[in-house]
Amino acid sequence: MAAEIISGKEIAAQVRAELKDRVEELTAEGLVPGLATVIVGEDPASQLYVGMKGRAAKEAGIYSRQVTLPADASEDELLGTIEGLNADPRIHGILVQLPVPDHIEEGKVLLAIDPEKDVDGFHPINVGRLSTGDLNVLVPCTPKGCIEMLLRTGNDPAGKHAVVVGRSNIVGRPMASLLLRKAPGGNATVTIAHSRTADLGAVTRQADVLVVAIGRPDTITADMVKPGAAVIDVGINRIDDASRERGYRVVGDVDFEGVKEVAGAITPVPGGVGPMTIAMLLSNTVQAAENQRAASS
């Protein structure tokens, strides 16, 4: 039987509608959640993402500010901008779009953001809080979105074997920590596989929940999936396609056509994990605003 197709687009719309209600309540109490996005340089893909984030924030009733620094801005200028946003009471969440240019040290940038405003969840303090099981920490948006999709489609990972393919700081590692947490969306038995895993299929075939974030098309084929498994495809890869006007199409890391005949549920690309990431950024911004209000009262 063909798999249920998990629509990230629909779930994200639902999450955003719920958030709008929460933002209205906060606003009525005099607290408008605020998000600042910072971008260095003019990379078109980064500008597109940051623009989308800003528009989504406004649509949810969140105050949004975009700071654009020139590509040759110094590290000190960027750190100064972050310091200003850390001190600004209208701003509850700060996101510096990555990657930053080579002359700026990414680690220093992540450390400069106030951990309470770190809506990306990339600050080492928040990484540590997540891996020690803190339940109120700000967590990276993409893995948080994957958990939300699993829960909202009846694919609770609790008690199941979850296999994460990929070990990046943005997706693979925090994903594994979330699946392991003693919390809704957690309580799974977790295995992390990666590009150096021997016999990847032997590992992925054990997965009841399979999350793939390795950045290579067709990494997971139908023979590597347990029948009935829930498959979350985090990959975003451009491949040449002369039949398309723009000359390429976007695919994930999973052979969608083959795997959907074996899996119980699967996310498409596009329209799966992607829309959830922005919804979770808004969710983190609201969470940060609520936490900061609680801390100051």
**Which residues in this chain contact ligand GUN in the complex, by CB under 6 A?**
95-98, 120, 141, 170
Cα angle 266, 268, 274 (rounded to 5 degrees) comes to 115
Q: Is 198 exposed, middle or buried (0-12, 13-18, 19+ CB in 10 A)?
A: exposed
Q: How far is the CB of 96 from ligand GUN (least distance, A)?
A: 6
Q: How far is the CB of 50 from ligand GUN (least distance, A)?
A: 9
206 catalytic, yes or no? no
Least Cα distance to 26 among 65, 64, 66, 61 occurs for 61
Q: How far is the CB of 81 from ligand GUN (least distance, A)?
A: 14
Q: How far is the CB of 80 from ligand GUN (least distance, A)?
A: 19
Q: How far is the CB of 23 from ligand GUN (least distance, A)?
A: 21
**Which of 190/276 has CB closer to ligand GUN?**
276
**Which of 171/266 has CB closer to ligand GUN?**
171
State which residue has the least CB distance to ligand GUN. 98
Q: Are strands 209-212 and 189-193 parallel, antiparallel or unpaired?
A: unpaired
**Which of 253/255 has CB closer to ligand GUN?**
253
Q: Which candidate in 53, 117, 160, 260 is catalytic?
A: 53
Q: How far is the CB of 161 from ligand GUN (least distance, A)?
A: 27
97 catalytic, yes or no? yes
CA distances to 81, 132, 162, 174, 199 from 190, in Å: 39, 15, 5, 12, 17
Instruction: Spell out the residues 6+ positions from residue 110 whose beta carbon is closer than 8 angstroms to its own.
Output: 96, 118, 122, 123, 124
Buried b (16+ CB within 10 A) or exposed e, 228-241: ebbbbbbbbbeeee
Q: Which candidate in 114, 118, 120, 233 is catalytic?
A: 120
66 catalytic, yes or no? no
Q: Are 289 and 33 in contact (CB under 8 A)?
A: yes
**Phi/psi of residue 23, each to 5°?**
-65, -40
Sign of the Cα torsion 53, 165, 208, 263 reads positive
Cα angle 260, 261, 264 (rounded to 5 degrees) comes to 65
**Which of 95/251 has CB closer to ligand GUN?**
95
Q: Which candidate in 97, 117, 253, 292 is catalytic?
A: 97
**Which of 140/157 has CB closer to ligand GUN?**
140
Least Cα distance to 103 among 70, 78, 75, 83 occurs for 75
Q: Are 191 and 210 in contact (CB under 8 A)?
A: no
**Which of 50/209 has CB closer to ligand GUN?**
50
Which positions are catalytic? 53, 97, 120
